[in-house]
Amino acid sequence: MGTLLRESAMITEDAPRPEAPHRRPFIRKRSVRSWCTMTANAHAGRSVSRRLILFGAFDRHNFGDILLAHCAVAAHRGRTPVFAGLLSRDLTVFGGHRVRSLAEIIAAYRHEAADFVHVGGELLTTTAWEAAVMLQSPADAARAIAMYDRSPETRRAWAQTMLTTDRRIPYAISAAELPTGWTVHFNAVGGVALTKLPTEEHAEVLRALRTAGTVSVRDAVTHAALKRAGISAELACDPASATPRLFGELISLRARNGEVAAIARRTPCWIAVQLAAHYGDDATLDRIASALRNRAIHANVGIVLFRAGLAPWHDDRETLERLFRRLAGLPVNLFESAHVLDVCALLSGARAYLGTSLHGWIVANSFGVPAHCLVSHDSDKAAAYIDTWHASPRRWRKVSESDLVPVY
Which three-class secondary structure string do you get for 171-207?
Answer: CCCCHHHCCCCEEEEEEEECCCCHHHCCHHHHHHHHH
- Nearest CA among 366, 242, 263, 341 for reference residue 32: 341
Does the residue 402 lie in any domain?
Answer: no
Q: What is the CATH number of the domain that holds 381?
A: 3.40.50
β-bridge partners, 189: 121, 217
Does the residue 111 lie in any domain?
Answer: yes
Q: Which helix (H) or strand (E) holds 144?
A: helix 138-148
| Residues 155 and 185 grouped into a single domain | yes
DSSP letter string over 66-114? HHHHHHHHHTTTT--EEEEESS-EE-GGGT--EEEEHHHHHHHHTTS-E
Sequence-separated (6 or more) residues with CB below 8 Å from residue 239: 68, 71, 72, 75, 120, 187, 188
Q: Can you give the pLDDT at residue 21? A: 37
| Residues 187 and 276 grouped into a single domain | no
DSSP letter string over 271-311? EEEE-BGGG-SHHHHHHHHHHHHHHHHHHT-EEEE--S--S
Q: Which helix (H) or strand (E) holds 354?
A: strand 352-355
DSSP letter string over 203-226? HHHHHHHHT-SEEEESSHHHHHHH
Q: Can you give the pLDDT at residue 169? A: 98
Torsion sign (Cα): 209, 215, 218, 219: positive
Q: Can you give the pLDDT at residue 408? A: 82
Helix (H, G, I), strand (E, B) or coil at 120: strand
Does the residue 169 lie in any domain?
Answer: yes
Alpha-carbon distance 165 to 84, whole Å? 15
User: What are the C-alpha distances in Å from 104 to residues 10, 72, 83, 395?
Assistant: 31, 21, 11, 42
- Nearest CA among 31, 109, 37, 100 for reference residue 74: 37
| Residues 317 and 352 grouped into a single domain | yes
Last residue in a domain, options 240, 265, 284: 240
Contact 273, 285 (CB under 8 A): no
Alpha-carbon distance 99 to 53, whole Å? 11
Q: Which helix (H) or strand (E) holds 253?
A: helix 243-255
| Residues 314 and 343 grouped into a single domain | yes
Contact 89, 163 (CB under 8 A): no
CA angle 294, 300, 302 (to 5 degrees): 85
| Residues 210 and 333 grouped into a single domain | no
Contact 90, 60 (CB under 8 A): no
| Residues 286 and 176 grouped into a single domain | no
Does the residue 74 lie in any domain?
Answer: yes
| Residues 196 and 282 grouped into a single domain | no
Q: What is the DSSP letter of 29?
A: -
The per-residue pLDDT string of the chain (408 residues; one tens digit each, 9 = 90 and over) reads 333 323 323 233 333 333 333 333 333 323 223 443 333 343 333 335 899 999 999 999 999 999 999 999 999 999 999 999 999 999 999 999 999 999 999 999 999 999 999 999 999 999 999 999 999 999 999 999 999 998 999 999 999 999 999 999 999 999 999 999 999 999 999 999 999 999 999 999 999 999 999 999 999 999 999 999 999 999 999 999 999 999 999 999 999 999 999 999 999 999 999 999 999 999 999 999 999 999 999 999 999 999 999 999 999 999 999 999 999 999 999 999 999 999 999 999 999 999 999 999 999 999 999 999 999 999 999 999 999 999 889 999 999 999 999 988
Does the residue 403 lie in any domain?
Answer: no
Q: Can you give the pLDDT at residue 357? A: 98
Alpha-carbon distance 175 to 180, whole Å? 8
| Residues 220 and 257 grouped into a single domain | no
| Residues 103 and 123 grouped into a single domain | yes
Q: Can you give the pLDDT at residue 48? A: 58
Number of domains observed in the structure of the chain = 2
Q: How many CB atoms lie within 10 A of CB 204?
A: 18
Does the residue 33 lie in any domain?
Answer: yes
DSSP letter string over 303-336? EEE--S--STTSB-HHHHHHHHHHTTTS-EEE--
Sequence-separated (6 or more) residues with CB below 8 Å from residue 363: 67, 240, 243, 343, 344, 347, 348
| Residues 83 and 169 grouped into a single domain | yes
Last residue in a domain, options 194, 209, 240: 240
- Residue 175: burial class (beta carbons within 10 Å; 0-12, 13-18, 19+): middle
- Nearest CA among 315, 228, 223 for reference residue 276: 315
User: What are the C-alpha distances in Å from 122 to residues 72, 127, 196, 348, 360?
Assistant: 15, 10, 14, 24, 15
| Residues 181 and 204 grouped into a single domain | yes
| Residues 86 and 207 grouped into a single domain | yes
Last residue in a domain, options 220, 240, 260: 240
Alpha-carbon distance 260 to 244, whole Å? 17
Domain enclosing residue 284, as ranges? 241-397
Alpha-carbon distance 252 to 18, whole Å? 10
Does the residue 150 lie in any domain?
Answer: yes
Does the residue 406 lie in any domain?
Answer: no
Q: How many CB atoms lie within 10 A of CB 41?
A: 17
End-to-end C-alpha distance for the chain, whole angstroms = 41
